[in-house]
Structure 1
Amino acid sequence: MNIILLPESEQNQSRWFIREQRQLTHIYGHLNAKVGDTLKVGIRNGARYIAEIIAMNTTEIEIKVLEKVSLPEKCPITLVLALPRPKVLRRLIMDSVTLGVEKIILLHSFRVDKSYWQSPFLKQLDDYVTLGLEQAGDTYAPEIQLYQRFKPFVEDVLPELIQQKDWAYVAHPYIENKLPKNIASEQGIIIVGPEGGFIPYEIDLLIKNGCQAIQLGNRILRTETAVSYLLGRLSAY
């Protein structure tokens, strides 16, 4: 936890308190903090600050703001991801948020098990977003959208998204084109399929609607490896 995130409702309060048990445990147990120490804090979807602890007890910690500090830059990427296995989803959301993705779209495809859409993990997405923000020291959560129908998304939604970006790539191991270099400063869309990849019909439909298929080398990667590799390449300064 590299930042203490406070709810948006705290923004307009004259006094700020940390009351979430998980955060209190971190401050007391891991930081061994005391009155007079400073903390990195932020308002969810707001600014980030250095704050001083002015009072402490077992149920709350009162802080006062010392100075406002800058937020880490976002990666101007929209990540479209075929809905992965629930446990993989948790890691992917956390890592994508940590790397600063601006928007995440979870999509159904042929090789996505329909049972994944009933997973309780989908109801916990905000928890994973919070963990990713805390790791990165960020406060602004990405927008997350869910689409349970592949074709309507690709034909009706994706082309409009592509018009707003500089490029749109779909990662596919069985293609000759490689990921271009030096595009980190541009806004784009990256699409990653399920374990086993998109089927040929899906790849063809994505290409038909404005995507360029690219490969990441001659090794077949796990979904979480491919996503981390791509975001690392695309967010490199």
Structure 2
Amino acid sequence: MNLILLDPQDTSTQNRVIIRDPRRLRHLKKVHRAEPGTRLTVGLEGGLMGTATLTALDSEHASFTLDALDTPPPAALPVHLVLALPRPRMLARTLEHVTALGVKDITLLHTKRVEKSYWQSPELMPEKIHQHLILGLEQAKDTVLPTVTLRKGFRPFVEDVLPTLLTERRGLLAHPGMANACPCGITSPTLLLIGPEGGFIDWEVERLLGAGCEGMHLGPRILRVETAVTALLARLF
């Protein structure tokens, strides 16, 4: 936790904050080894970052005095990530990774090779998704939560949603065997589509290309989804 992320409900007065949840308290004690008088980097969820001084810490609460909140969070990546729903363990790690990298718009999509059982996973419960996003923000010293949208139908997504997403974005389809290599250093708004383990099926690729997406590849190696996502974002942006 490189940032103590403060929920708006944590703030009790204009410059005094009290947090009570066990996870952050454990981290303050075991990782930061904080004690009264310690200054820490903090940020208000959805707002500015700065420093705060710990004034009290016990098993039930931590109290801070805010020194200053005057630093904006880092800039977001200009990308909307459309990701075929990974298996639950991989989903948790991937959400944390892409949040830490600065992705603010995430769509989780059903495709042919996505197991239907994945959609029943507890990892898709709103509170679990929120937890992974928070961990990504704390890692990267960011305060702005991504928006996560679930799309359980591939055809409705391509026919009803994708055209709107592409009106102001360049659509890039990452898939093995595409003719063009992944570009570098993009600064314009982008829609990045990444398939599941095993990739998109041919019909899905045809529909995405037909809708206006550009196919691209990362080379001859076949990567796990969580590795491919990180590699693509790093190369593109």
Q: TM-score, normalised by structure 1?
A: 0.94
Instruction: Extract unaligned runs of 5+ from structure 2.
Output: none
Structure 2 CA distance for partners of 1:157 and 1:12, relative to 1, 3 Å = farther
Q: Paired residue for 1:97?
A: 99
Give distance in 1, aligned partners of 2:97 and 2:184: 22
Q: Paired residue for 1:114?
A: 116
Q: Is 2:133 the counterpart of 1:129?
A: yes
Q: Identify which range, 22-31 or 186-195, moves more after superposition.
A: 22-31
* Structure 1 residues 26-41: aligned runs within 5 Å: 26-41=27-42
Instruction: Extract unaligned runs of 5+ from structure 1.
Output: none
Question: What's the CA shift for 1:56?
Answer: 2.7
* 8 A Cα contact 1:8 1:44, kept in partner: yes
Question: What's the CA shift for 1:231?
Answer: 0.9
Give distance in 2, aligned partners of 1:28 and 1:222: 35
The runs of 4+ residues in structure 1 deviating greater than 4 Å are: none
* 8 A Cα contact 1:10 1:43, kept in partner: no
Question: What's the CA shift for 1:32?
Answer: 1.4
Question: What's the CA shift for 1:13?
Answer: 3.4
Give the letter aligned to residue 138 of structure 1: D
Q: Is 2:191 the counterpart of 1:189?
A: yes
Q: Paired residue for 1:139?
A: 143
Q: Paired residue for 1:6?
A: 6
How many corresponding residue pairs? Answer: 233
RMSD (CA atoms)? 1.3
Give distance in 2, aligned partners of 1:57 and 1:198: 51
Identity %: 42
Question: What's the CA shift for 1:219?
Answer: 1.3
Question: What's the CA shift for 1:99?
Answer: 0.4
Q: Paired residue for 2:73?
A: 71
Provide the secondary structure at the position in 2 that maps to 1:106. Answer: strand
Question: What's the CA shift for 1:36?
Answer: 1.3
Give distance in 2, aligned partners of 1:61 and 1:117: 37
